[in-house]
Homo-oligomer: A and B are copies of this chain.
Amino acid sequence: MVTIADVARHAGVAPSTVSYVLTGKRSISPQTRTKVRESIRLLGYHPHAGARALATSRANVVALVLPLRHGVHLPVVMRFVTAAVTTARRHDMDVLLVTADQGAQGLRRVAGSAQVDGFLVMDVELDDDRVPLLRQIAQPSVLIGRPAAVKGLTCVDLDFEAAGARCVDHLADLGHRYIGFLGAPSVVYQRNTGYAQRTMAGFGAAAMRRGIASTALPAEDDYESVLASVRSLLRTQPAMTALVVHNEAALGWVAGSLRALGRRVPDDVAVVAICPDELAEQMQLTSVQLPAEELGRQAMELLVARLNGHPAAPVTLLPPKLSGRASTAPRLRRA
C-alpha cells in the first residue's frame, strides 16, 4: 500500500504538507501543491480510510437502515436507496447497509464501533423500539416516517394527512358527494402504523370540511375480503360514487370487485389510489404518489446537514402530488 509518507518522500516534502494539500486546511504554495498533486497521481495514492477515521473520528460513512419486512413494496425501497446513495456520494460519503432485522442491537454495534457518522432509518413506526436507542447514541440520525414523539429527532415523511385530504378534494372538485375509503388491513391499524392512521384522519377531516359523506373500512389482501369490504361500503352508502384506496395489495382487486357488484370504473365509481406511481401507472389509476426519490434525497441532505452541525426541524413533510388518470373522470351533475 502506498502511504502518505511515500508521497511525501516522492515529492520531497513532509507528510503533514501532503495532508494539508489534501485537506486544504492550511495555505500551501502553488509550487508544492502541484508537486504533491503530481506525486499523488503518479503513485496512485488513496488515503487509508481506517487511518483517517481514527485520526479525525469521522468515518465519512452513513448507515442506511432498510426494512425487509414482508409487505413493504420493494421497488419503492430501491428507489429510495438509490436516491439516498446518490445524495450521499455527492457529499463524499459512503453508505453502509444495515437491515432492520438486525434490530436495535445492530444499530448499537455499528454506532459503537464508530463505523458510521450517522443513521438514516427507513420505515419507522409510531412506537419504534429503535427510537430510544437513536436518541442515546452519539451519531445523529434522520428517520423516514414519524414516531409518536419526535422531540429531539429529525423526521422526514410524506404528508399523509394532506394526501388523504388531496384525494377528497380532487373527487369533490369532480362533483362527488359520497366517498368511500378502503384502508390497509386491520392489523396495520392495530399495530401502530402512523401513516395509515394519518391518511385516514386527513381523509375524514377533508370530507367533513367539504360537507361530504364518507365511510371507511379496512381491507385484507385477498380478493374475497376486498369484495366483501367494497360490498359493505356500497351497502352502507348506496350513493357512493368514489373510492379512495390506501392499500397496495388490495389495489388489484378493487376494479374487479366493483365490476362484480355492477359498478364500472370510472363511470359509476371513481377510484383514487395512494400508492407508488408505477403501480398506479400500470393500472391506470388516478393516484397520490409515494415520492421515494424525493424522500431519500431530502433525508440524506438533512443528515449531512446535521453531520455538519446544522440544526434541523424535527419534522419535514413532503406535500402530496396527485396524478390524474383514467380512473377518475368529471362527474356529471345529476338531477
Show the binding face of A for B, using Cβ within 8 Å. 1, 44-54, 57, 59, 61, 64, 68, 74-75, 77-79, 81-82, 85-86, 89, 94-99, 101-102, 106, 108-110, 112-115, 138
A46–B97 contact, CB under 8 A? no
Which residues of chain B are near A98, meaning CB under 8 Å?
Answer: 94
Number of copies: 2
B109–A85 contact, CB under 8 A? no
Which residues of chain B are near A97, meaning CB under 8 Å?
Answer: 64, 81, 85, 94-97
B46–A112 contact, CB under 8 A? yes
Q: Shortest beta-carbon distance, A102 to chain B, in Å?
A: 7
Q: How far, in angstroms, from A276 to B287 measured CA to CA in the complex?
A: 27
B44–A49 contact, CB under 8 A? no
Given known pairs A54-B54, A97-B96, the reply for A112 and B44 (CB within 8 Å) is: yes
Which residues of chain B are near A95, meaning CB under 8 Å?
Answer: 96-97
Q: How far, in angstroms, from A42 to B85 measured CA to CA in the complex?
A: 36
- A sample of 18 cross-chain residue pairs with beta-carbon separation below 8 angstroms, ordered by A number, consists of A44-B112, A46-B114, A48-B54, A48-B114, A49-B113, A50-B54, A50-B59, A51-B54, A53-B53, A68-B82, A74-B74, A75-B75, A77-B78, A81-B97, A94-B96, A94-B115, A95-B96, A96-B97
